Chains A and B, each alone.
Chain A
């Protein structure tokens, strides 16, 4: 039995790296004494996978993992037992049982499902004053209507010029009537409140700041294309004429998406990564991983 678990990471534990998050949850499951499935061999490890690593310092209401169990348990029971063994800084948000895959086939990995992630980018207090709301709104409009946004993207070894525009799904502000071209029904406010009827508040664990200035951005994430929200922020700051300092922004991941119709584990035969250029008017619709 495989469960897909959504959790939040926040507060001081924003500073725990991805590998340590994995180690943390392995211990939570052991402390909760749950019948988790182990790999074979002399040093067995738990069958546990994660969706998309979160950068150090970023908070989130949309982290996902999948865990295999050897016995049938109710998702509610697993949720309760794990939650009782966790510390402040991690909270489970939902727990869903995945459909079983036919004998001999393997479900598509959680990691390869990830297509995009949505972030709230907030100005922190104590840094040069953020632009006022209208300035920011028009800057976002100007920024988003550009044909291309070329930035320097550096990896450990190289620095290369990349056009990030195709990998930005949408950008908006609170109260924005701005519509996502691929989803005529979409408005910023709808997204912000996550009106999906499951009681999850996707900003519940985000830090709040007195200045209140923030915007939202959905970017391509995952193994095919991956754009960090910080990169978009940096490029936006150029339009704003605001001197970019990565420490001045708080990032919060609100949602992690797969594509509509994408595998939920049933028939995951094709794991190939098709580049998801979202500028071509052919944007596929995104649904949260817990759908």
Chain B
């Protein structure tokens, strides 16, 4: 029997002990005497969240295909265990072997949202790894960051040895080979980091120097020695012939995503101006039908899950969606497996498919107009018209649906009060479609519309990367304006309004576009007790305001200040494929509320065609 890192007494005293025992179905166990490299993959949040992440599953499978490498996992201990581990000085351990993380060669941390940064420090701290990369010794693991947040890694640059910029499938093997070679040659940690900096896509922050001018503006970003000046984003160019897990790990406790995930395509053709994912995963690359059919069946067989989720940024844009769904509806139906289809544009086809795979009476239809007026939707380049929304909703009502979810953002650039008011007005129009067109006799009760707003946070590598973020007070004013306007609507009683917290949005803004100086705030907030900041119940603004005060960092400089397009940005050293000129042009077009066509309609020359893959080949061959 395996020995656990935590005693029975501890496991009996904490919430959900299954988070820490490992040994899930399809988890990989290896013989330590037969491997050279120990890699621990970390999702810095609670187990149930981390286990829902596809990226880790892909990399876990990829690493473990190597005979010389054992990849294991670790997640953030929940606060109840966090306290016990500190008190009893129990080092943080990997769930598979239950061995301390400190014994590993690598700790790879995926950074999916900025509000997890204090959890990164928690993981390092509990592992007994120096928080500052510069203080780490030869026997400490190499700490690597990856994921969407590394498109501006500067606020957390001091805590990491390496950042992997882009998609993980490309150069990790090269990095591991380099590590083995340097270790065999008797090289030091520094020797390895220098060698790693020459692998395309790897950024070693300690090999760069930054400087600021007298106004505190970033003025200098230079490699020390021979490190490359630019880091190139990694893109998988053969998406139907690459790593994908046939046997995803099945947790014992229910994960947030309690299902098999099938990534049907990567990237998005749409170019919504607020959406970082829409830019940093360009160009859109579809996986082949054969690939998807094979993995769908294999993954269901190997996990026993009763649901499969088709994942992508915009499923409706997958060109063979109909064929794929025909196959899945038959194949999964026979196996009593449900199909879940998020991010589907509501139209006749979508409703037909949804009617087949969901219980119409219980499920809802979802629209994400993101802006309340046509002007606003043009500003953000969300190619969704009011007519499409109303027609889609009415078609759904006729088929028996009566629940509608609507997602919007408040505080996007160039938003006016009229646009805020437009949100409840649009919701009301949808309600009217229902009451005016569905005869009482055939109605399935009242229509239930839920409007949710989140506050917009400008992100790097989007056309809004220069934009001013709205101050929290202004956020709240717009939220109130929305509420008052909603109350005035005819069908106000059928419309429910949920909004997102504004404190975390402004911090997210600081962490998303900050520079290296912001690292001190994160460290200080962590020392003040900040942890699980992405969890409303655990977040406390005071820990952060105290940290800002102590470090003397002016948050407005990073959030509410509009940048000049000529300004040096902290993330300029990353070559994401999308040219800065193109983004500036898009920013300009958004000011004029000009729509830019999507990649399938016309190539806008964003720069990503250099990879010669996906939609870029389609448009060129046309």
Contact = CB atoms under 8 A, between A and B. Distances in A.
Interface string B235-254: 00000000000000010111
Interface string B1-45: 110100011011100011001111100000000000000000000
B12 A247 contact: yes
B2 A247 contact: no
A177 interface: no
Interface string A1-18: 000000000111101110
A31 B301 contact: yes
Interface string B578-596: 0000000000000000000
Nearest to B253: A20
B304 interface: yes
A81 to B, nearest CB: 13
Contacts, number: 75
A27 B23 contact: no
Interface in B499-529: none
Nearest to A33: B301
Contact of A29 (B12, B254, B304): B304
A247 B9 contact: yes
A26 B303 CA distance: 11
A85 B247 CA distance: 13
B338 interface: yes
A23 interface: yes
A47 to B, nearest CB: 12
A12 B22 contact: yes
Nearest to A41: B359
Interface residues of B, number: 32
A28 interface: yes
A49 to B, nearest CB: 18
A42 interface: yes
B546 interface: no
B177 interface: no
A27 B21 contact: no
A43 B358 CA distance: 9
Interface string B323-338: 0000000000001101
B113 interface: no
B248 to A, nearest CB: 12
A261 interface: no
A89 interface: yes
A57 interface: yes
A123 to B, nearest CB: 13
Contacts of B362: 42
Interface in A135-181: none
Which residue, of B253, B302, B303, has the highest number of chain A Cβ atoms within 10 A? B253
A5 B362 CA distance: 35
A27 B253 CA distance: 12
Contacts of B24: 87
A214 interface: no
B252 A16 contact: yes
Interface in B358-391: 358-359, 362
A20 B336 contact: no
Given A30-B304, A88-B1, A88-B23, A56 B338 contact: no
Contacts of B253: 16-17, 20
Contacts of A27: 25, 250, 303-305
B301 A88 contact: no
B27 to A, nearest CB: 9
Interface in A20-73: 20, 23-24, 26-31, 33, 38, 42-44, 56-57
Contact of B23 (A12, A56, A250): A12
Given A20-B254, A26-B306, A27-B25, A12 B4 contact: yes
A24 B301 CA distance: 14
A15 B336 contact: no
Nearest to A245: B9
Nearest to A31: B304
B435 to A, nearest CB: 27
A124 interface: yes
A250 B9 CA distance: 10
Contacts of B358: 42
B65 to A, nearest CB: 21
A42 B303 CA distance: 22
A44 B22 contact: no
Contact of B254 (A23, A87, A89): A23
Chain A interface size range: 20 to 34
Contacts of A28: 304
Given A12-B23, A247-B9, A247-B12, A88 B2 contact: yes
A44 B332 CA distance: 13
A12 B300 CA distance: 26
A16 B302 CA distance: 21
Nearest to A15: B17
**Best-surrounded residue of B24, B252, B336, B362 (most CB of chain A within 10 A):** B252
Given A12-B4, A16-B252, A20-B18, A31 B302 contact: yes
B8 A124 contact: yes
B357 to A, nearest CB: 10
B16 to A, nearest CB: 8
Contacts of A30: 300, 304-306, 335
Contacts of A10: 1
B66 to A, nearest CB: 24
Contact of B11 (A33, A57, A250): A57
B12 A56 contact: yes
Contacts of B359: 42-43
Contact of A26 (B13, B18, B300, B304): B304
B64 to A, nearest CB: 17
Contacts of A42: 358-359, 362
Contacts of A12: 1-2, 4, 21-23
A15 B18 contact: yes
Interface centre among A11, A15, A42 (most CB of B within 10 A): A15
Nearest to A42: B359
B252 A24 contact: yes
Contacts of A85: 304
A24 B250 CA distance: 9
Given A29-B304, A88-B2, A16 B8 contact: no
B252 A31 contact: no
Contacts of B338: 43
Nearest to B12: A57
A226 to B, nearest CB: 20
A89 B303 contact: no
Interface in A59-110: 85, 87-89
Interface in B298-352: 300-306, 335-336, 338
A124 B302 CA distance: 38
Contacts of A23: 252, 254
A126 B254 CA distance: 33
B304 A13 contact: no
Contacts of A56: 12, 17
A35 to B, nearest CB: 11
Contacts of B11: 15, 57
Nearest to B258: A23
A244 to B, nearest CB: 14
Interface in B525-555: none
Given A16-B18, A247-B9, 12 more contacts: A12-B1, A12-B21, A13-B23, A16-B252, A27-B25, A28-B304, A31-B302, A42-B358, A42-B362, A56-B17, A85-B304, A250-B8
Interface of B: 1-2, 4, 8-9, 11-13, 17-18, 21-25, 250, 252-254, 300-306, 335-336, 338, 358-359, 362
A-B pairs, top 10 by smallest CB distance, nearest first, are: A27-B304, A30-B304, A42-B359, A15-B17, A247-B9, A31-B304, A12-B21, A11-B1, A16-B252, A57-B12
26 contacts: A12-B21, A13-B252, A15-B11, A15-B17, A16-B18, A16-B252, A16-B253, A17-B18, A20-B254, A23-B252, A26-B304, A27-B304, A30-B306, A42-B359, A42-B362, A43-B359, A56-B12, A57-B8, A57-B11, A87-B24, A87-B25, A88-B1, A88-B2, A124-B8, A247-B9, A247-B13
